[in-house]
Amino acid sequence: VNNESKSKEEKSTPKDRLSLLESQSKAIVKKQFPFLDFFANAPQPLFTEESLSKDLQTAKNCFKHMTALFDDLEECRPFEVLRGSRDRGDFLSTTHAKIIALTCTHAALKRSDLVNLRFQYDNLIMEESAQILEVETFIPMLLQNQDSELGSRLKRVVLIGDHHQLPPVVKNMAFQQYSHFDQSMFTRFVRLAMPVINLDMQGRARPSLAALYSWRYKNLGNLPIVSNTPIFQKANAGFACEYQLINVEDYEGKGETTPNPYFYQNLGEAEFIVQTYMFMRLVGYPSEKISIITTYNGQKQLLRDIIRRRCENNPLFGEPAKITTVDKYQGQQNDYILLSLVRTKTVGHLRDVRRLVVALSRARLGLYVFCRQRLFENCYELTPSFSRLLTRPTKLHIVPNEMFPSERPVQAPSNAFVIEDV
């Protein structure tokens, strides 16, 4: 046999020998590749044996895939030891997480645990920082131990807030008034004239709605989106105006009532608002696009009771997205806001302009304010906003037979029907 093969090699030409070597070199990748069985279920053969360079590239890609699998296994190995969800969460937070979101309250409660876990971070971003106590702002900066050589790892702190809105809540009046505990660190920095970046363009509300509170902000403008987007150019279905102050007189001979001290309610406003909400639902407004807010807890409870009795079990109406107070709704928004101001004898705590700014700035497309006109129009602190509100009729103007969504331009005249004797 050996003699026969030798004789064949002697008879073969140099060209035949070269082609034999080339064919062997093309097949060498497939012969030497150690993971053929692992990739046996591939939709097509890995190696074509037509080009050595292509087969080598395929082999490299396969090795990359194998390396990624082993990297994933390496990351999962600790979970063989960490059986509890809490331990696994701590491991992920301290080892793999790039961004961690938590509240200031949670940071204060878990500070010792985070320090013991050797939690480390370089940047801190705090949203709604104007509504956070100074000590609550300070604690998140101390969630890690300082390095003995390099000092604190924290390199950047970004505070985002609006000092023209409501401050932190301090229930102890002595601390609030005499110790000024209701001042946030954000507000302190602004008051001390530290350099700040003012965002002077808003993209939340229609320009006409933004004009109700823009006087509190220096050179507040509007982003193009609130002028160019079709949803901001169309009118609110069923309403003649995109915003309106609706004057509510005594209902059954009563205005504001106080069943308990400081528990203010106004049945007339509550009934009017619920009827307006039901009208909006019949017109076709989605319930999740409507929020009802008020300035007092008593009115909030009354509104919830009426909604629960009239709308909760009726599939035509259902409940709105939120029924809450202005203070609790800070930092949130909705397309359509129904606002109850409750008071009919004195202005109350709405005299704080910051609370008024929060109340008027929650709506994107429609705002309807239910109140006692002659009380609030004479309040000096509120004049810039109420003077603009009073440029519109103070009786609710609706547009019959118009369904949601409306194709009527927001400035187009409409055949309005006036709601009277309510």
Strands 334-340 and 363-371: parallel
Q: What confidence tens digit (pLDDT) does each residue in 205-257 have?
A: 999 999 999 999 989 999 999 989 999 999 999 999 999 999 999 998 899 99
Q: Which residues contact 184 (CB under 8 A, 6 or more apart)?
A: 129, 130, 131, 132, 133, 134, 137, 161, 163, 167, 168
In the chain, domain spans: 2-76, 85-191, 202-418
Q: Of 346, 397, 336, 398, give the one whose Cα is nearest residue 371.
A: 346
Q: Which two tokens stand for residue 79?
A: 């979970």
Given a cut of 50, the residues of the chain with pLDDT beneath it are 1, 15, 18, 21
202-418 is classed in which CATH architecture?
3-Layer(aba) Sandwich (3.40)
Q: What CATH superfamily is the domain 85-191?
A: P-loop containing nucleotide triphosphate hydrolases (3.40.50.300)
Q: Which run of H or E residues covers position 125?
A: strand 123-126
Contact (CB, 8 A) for 257 and 323: no
Sheet order of strands, 322-325 included:
243-247, 363-371, 334-340, 290-294, 322-325
Q: Do domains 85-191 and 202-418 have the same CATH topology?
A: yes
Q: Of 392, 395, 383, 422, give the one whose Cα is nearest residue 410.
A: 392
Which amino acid type is present at position 236?
N
CA distances from 257 to 63, 244, 298, 342, 372 (A): 77, 25, 9, 9, 14
CA distances from 91 to 106, 112, 118, 140, 143 (A): 18, 16, 11, 20, 16
Q: Of 320, 290, 284, 291, give the one whose Cα is nearest residue 406.
A: 284
Which amino acid type is present at position 372?
R
Q: Which run of H or E residues covers position 365?
A: strand 363-371
Helix (H, G, I), strand (E, B) or coil at 367: strand
CA triple 257-259-261, angle to 5 deg: 95
Distance CA 49, CA 299 (A): 81
Q: Which run of H or E residues covers position 173?
A: helix 173-178
Distance CA 234, CA 365 (A): 9
Q: Which two tokens stand for residue 145?
A: 């131990």
Q: What confidence tens digit (pLDDT) does each residue in 45-99 have?
A: 777 777 777 878 888 888 888 888 888 888 778 877 887 888 888 888 888 888 9
